[in-house]
Chain A
């Protein structure tokens, strides 16, 4: 007894590739253009300039600790001779998170409003969060071949469930009396959403965003295996060619980027709370 579902699915993928080729190419081109644009924007300024801008911005809004940390993290990326790779990784994460949030946020609100929709969504999210990240890359690679585009698509899909879950949780957690107050004073649903629910849900939303960023980074680094470039590619090169120096440098740069993104986003969260409390 021997069978292979893959042997049936592979021709279907081939068929998709031959018949919807223009669509996939167009999609790939759009993604490539956006990514390329962000990358150019990050790389056109000389590295010390980028470091200075980020540090000063962090100092002005988030306090000196975060500023020092940002300086050290970015400084290490530059020092390790991995500036371009680091910025490619940052660009991938930023684009993936932006798209994942744009998809997950409305769906999360909808799920918070309609029990039925949430009940239908839950098993799908459960499965998505159980499946190992590696598996996400395969369908993307089948359609978009190797490169940055499958990487970013897998990253987006991987980043959606946590953001969606926490968005639903956040909007569920908005106190009912606040919403009723809005209705009582005759505010439009739109006004209630933006002026009452969104501010009340914000702390949980930021947690979701933080999660989404870290998971996306993990995926983007892993996507080095399918030719996504950036730091993941350097780590993969170190692992497969046994160039441990390069691998460790790239690994430490990944840590720097992870710590930077994590601290920046959670410092922003704390600041939100401080402002609200004050």
Chain B
């Protein structure tokens, strides 16, 4: 057997399969692409609707409610800073990508996590898959999606959803499983139905853990969205990628500062939401 023939044969096979897929199942991928881009464009339109100072003030108010006045003012100023650097459209486009990806990831991850929390068998079956997803470097998830969906935000979304899903599934399932047994027994003793037990007892207990999962998903999504600049996702990631290729140091610094600001604001927001949920429980 000639080992050196494997690589070219593999490449050829991949090309054949891909062209077969785009010939025969092209409508499927085009459809998926349309849906994803529609979602992204909708959210983008929504976040671009108010002028930058309104978004900054809203962010500031949200942070103020959850974390106090000092952080609220800081967050609002930081958002204005992004606009001042002339990176507002890019920042909003990154935000729209993160929101779109997190929404999809949570829409899949939360129900799956709940199911895994209720069924230990499913949890055991999912564990190796989640392990594998989390072991691999996020960068490579761009490959299959760019092959099937082409250049653009849809590819970035798919890769981001893959990366952002595991923490949501894991922490939701953990939260559901951690319900103290005496409360479940209490519910049974009172003769509550299954649905009631779930919504009135299991879910409230799981909320802090689920919120932690939302926070982690969001952060994973952020890391990936920025990397996805290379496949033409638009936004700050692409700005940095372009600036690095041109060795335009000043612009890449500006864009990184904007990314750090956006990440910190969203992270602190969701973290304090998780903390608030925890507190409410106690």
A interface with B by C-beta (< 8 Å): 1-7, 9-10, 13, 78-82, 127, 130-135, 137-138, 141-142, 214, 217-218, 221-222, 224-226, 232, 235-236, 238-240, 242-249, 251, 254-255, 258-259, 262
- Whether the Cβ atoms of B10 and A80 lie closer than 8 Å is yes
A134-B135 in contact given A1-B84, A6-B249 (Cβ < 8 Å)? no
Chain B positions 244 through 280: 1 when the CB is less than 8 Å from some CB of chain A, otherwise 0? 1000011111101101100110010000000000000
Question: B249 and A258: CB pair below 8 A?
Answer: no
Q: How far is the CB of B245 from chain A (nearest CB, A)?
A: 9
Q: Are A3 and B147 in contact (CB under 8 A)?
A: no
Determine which of B14, B142, B223 lies in contact with A133 in the assembled complex, contact meaning CB atoms within 8 Å.
B223
A-B pair number, CB within 8 angstroms:
149
Where chain A touches its partner, the secondary structure class is helix
Chain B contact residues (Cβ within 8 angstroms of A): what range?
Answer: 35 or more
Docked Cα-Cα span, A131 to B230, in Å, equals: 18
Contact A239 B142 (CB under 8 A): yes
B95 at the interface (CB under 8 A from A): no
Residues of B within 8 A of A5 (CB): 85, 253-254, 257
* A238→B7 contact, CB < 8 A: no
Q: How far is the CB of B26 from chain A (nearest CB, A)?
A: 16
- Given A5-B257, A248-B14, CB of A13 within 8 Å of CB of B249: yes
Q: Does B237 contact A (CB under 8 A)?
A: yes
B140→A245 contact, CB < 8 A: no
Contacting residues, chain A, for B139 (C-beta < 8 A)? 218, 221-222, 224, 232, 235
Closest 4 CB pairs of A and B: A245-B11, A6-B250, A6-B253, A81-B7
By a CB distance below 8 angstroms, the chain A residues around B256 are 134-135, 138
- How far is B135's CA from A80's CA once the two chains are assembled, in angstroms? 21
